[in-house]
Structure 1
Amino acid sequence: MALAKLGAVVLDCPDPRALAAFYAEVLGGTVEGDGEWAELKAGDGRSLAFQAAPGHVSPKWPAPDNSQQFHLDLVVDDLDTAEQGVLALGARTLDAEDRSRTWRVYADPAGHPFCLCAC
C-alpha cells in the first residue's frame, strides 16, 4: 500500500509565470497562479509547478563536479519538429549533436535540462 501519491513536480526558477508559460507552449495546458508560485495544469490531469527562488542558479549539464539535480523526459512524435518548436520558445541546445539518437538534450529558459525523446 502506498503511503502517498505524487502531487506535482516543482521547479525552482527566477520567474515562475514565465517558465510555466514556456512549458504550457511545449506541453499544452493552462497556467494558474502568479508571483511566487505558478502551476501548469495539463489536460490529462497532471501538473507541473514553478516556485520563485531568489538567487536561482541553473544546474550545469554535463558537469561531473555538479549535479544536474533532475531532468524531464518529454516524449515527442517528431524530434526535428519538436526541436524547432522548443528552440523558438527560448530553449537552448545542450547536447543534440548526435542525430542518430532517439533523444536530444536542451535547457529551458531558466536553465533546467530536459530531453526530447522519440516514441
Structure 2
Amino acid sequence: METVTQKELLERVKMQLASFLEDPQYQDQHSLHIEIIRTFGRVGPNAEPRFRDEFVLPHLHKLALANNSQATEIKRIDVATQLFEAYSALSCCCILFNQIQWSVKAGPIH
C-alpha cells in the first residue's frame, strides 16, 4: 500500500480492508482493529494521497468513534494509543481541507 501506484491494485486492497472493517463478524475483533490501525499508521504517510484522504483517514475516524463505546477500559486505551500513533504519523502529511472539515463535522472523538 505504501508504494503501489496502480489504481486497480489499490482498489483491491481498499476493498479487502473495507470488508474487514465493515463486516459485522469482525466488529468486536480488538486485535484486528489494532493491526489495521498500525497498518494505516505505517502506510498512510507514504500512500497515494487520495487513498489516504478518502480511505485511511475516514476509517481511522470510524474506528475512533467505535472505540468511544468500548466497554473495556484496557481495550479502549489500547486502541486510543494506536490511534494516537497513527494520527501522529499522518500529522506531517498534506491533507485536503475538505477532509478536515468532514472530520470536524462528524463530531468529537473521546
Place the TM-score, normalised by the shorter chain, in its bin: under 0.3
Bigger CA radius of gyration: 1
- Larger helix fraction of residues: 2
Higher relative contact order (CA 8 A, sep 6+): 2
Per the normalisation by structure 1, the TM-score is 0.25
- Larger strand fraction of residues: 1
